[in-house]
């Protein structure tokens, strides 16, 4: 019993208390200097929801989640199924696909701002081969967010692939052998035996995707800083730009509280509905 207090104490001191403070500050019009004195009740929350950029940020987070589930997950799954088999080069390929995940988010952003650069970037060079002028992807509100979504898939699919490979390798060979003896062909085997056995891992991967998507921030900053015209904000980059950089601590705290409520609601309902048996 004596071993527990340090963890609880540290956690309370450095996580729960700041969060509680944020909840308290969110009721003030406060710039972060001195003591918060101007109590405005729930007005900060009203300002947040009235802000056009917040709507965009919310929608962008939905997009990130959608792409994580519709593009990234199937990609990771397919690669995992291919690479879980043992052949020469499989391990090296796994390493390569995992590489982007190890890279720091900021560094990834830097690399891709070079790739996307409309004047000198890699993409422009490829366009140049066909004689076309390169697009300034990150400078147009219509294309900035899709460009970021590509980076997200690039960076995180390897992590999910590794989850699936681990699950595939931990799988009971006997079950697959039995199905094969029963006459299941390749596709049937994957679809009706392997895939159901992967469901727990897929549920876990979805959980990571959604919570990670909601917290997306450090990839956006070096690429677009939420721009142009607030078109590529996520909730956290919105919080940072409008709350921290503009010294509106109360407003930022309100965004933080809203984000936390979204995350916590998702986490608990998801756990209750889909991850009960684990």
Partner 1 sequence: MSRPRLDGIGVFKGFFLVAALLFVLTPLVATVLGGFKSLGELRTNPFGLPDVWEWRNYADIIVSSRYWALLGNSLTIALLTVVLTLVVAAMAAFVFAHLQFWGREMLFAYITTGLLFPAATAVAAGNSSPVVM
- Residue 161, C-beta contacts closer than 8 angstroms, at least 6 positions apart: 75, 76, 77, 79, 80, 83, 94, 97, 98
Q: x-or-dash pattern for partner 1, window 47-86, by CB under 8 A? A: ----------------------------x--xx--xx-xx
Contact 116, 123 (CB under 8 A): yes
Q: Which two tokens stand for residue 91?
A: 């391990």
Note whether 3 binds partner 1 by CB under 8 A: yes
Residue 6 C-beta: closest distance to partner 1, Å: 5
Contact between 135 and 143 under an 8 Å Cβ cutoff? The reply is: yes
CA distances from 81 to 75, 89, 91, 137, 187 (A): 10, 15, 13, 33, 12
Nearer Cβ to partner 1, position 99 or 132? 99
- β-bridge mates for residue 28, sequence order: 39
Tell the smallest beta-carbon distance from residue 115 to partner 1 (Å): 5
Give min distance, CB of 152 to partner 1, in A.
13
* 10 vs 15: CA distance, rounded Å: 8
How many chain residues are in contact with partner 1, going by CB under 8 A? 67
Contact set with partner 1 (CB under 8 A)? 1, 3-4, 6-8, 10-11, 15-16, 18-19, 21-22, 25, 31-32, 75, 78-79, 82-83, 85-87, 93, 96-97, 99-100, 106, 111-112, 114-115, 119-122, 124-125, 154, 158, 186, 211, 214-215, 217-218, 221, 236, 239-240, 243-245, 247, 249, 252-253, 255-256, 259-260, 263-264, 267
């Amino acid at each position: 019993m004596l071993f527990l207090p340090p963890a609880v104490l540290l956690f309370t001191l450095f996580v729960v208390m700041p969060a509680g403070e944020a909840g308290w500050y969110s009721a003030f019009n406060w710039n972060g200097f001195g003591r918060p004195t101007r109590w405005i009740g729930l007005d900060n929350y009203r300002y947040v929801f009235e802000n056009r950029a917040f709507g965009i940020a919310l929608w962008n987070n939905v997009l990130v989640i959608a792409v994580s589930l519709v593009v990234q997950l199937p990609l990771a799954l397919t690669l995992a199924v291919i690479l879980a088999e043992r052949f020469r080069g499989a391990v090296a390929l796994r390493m390569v696909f995992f590489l982007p995940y190890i890279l720091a988010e900021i560094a990834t952003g830097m690399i891709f701002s070079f790739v996307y650069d409309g004047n000198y970037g890699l993409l422009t060079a490829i366009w140049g081969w066909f004689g076309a002028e390169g697009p300034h992807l990150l400078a147009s509100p219509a294309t900035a967010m899709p460009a970021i979504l590509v980076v997200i898939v690039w960076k995180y699919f390897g992590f999910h692939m590794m989850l699936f490979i681990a699950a595939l390798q931990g799988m009971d060979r006997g079950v697959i052998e039995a199905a094969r003896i029963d006459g299941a062909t390749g596709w049937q085997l994957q679809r009706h035996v392997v895939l159901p056995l992967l469901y727990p891992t897929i549920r876990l991967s979805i959980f990571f995707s959604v919570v990670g998507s909601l917290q997306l921030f450090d990839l956006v900053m070096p690429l677009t800083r939420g721009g142009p015209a607030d078109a590529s904000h996520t909730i956290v980059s919105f919080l940072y730009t409008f709350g921290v950089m503009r010294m509106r601590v109360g407003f930022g705290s309100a965004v933080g509280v809203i984000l936390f409520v979204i995350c916590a609601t998702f986490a608990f309902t998801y756990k209750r509905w889909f991850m009960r048996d684990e």
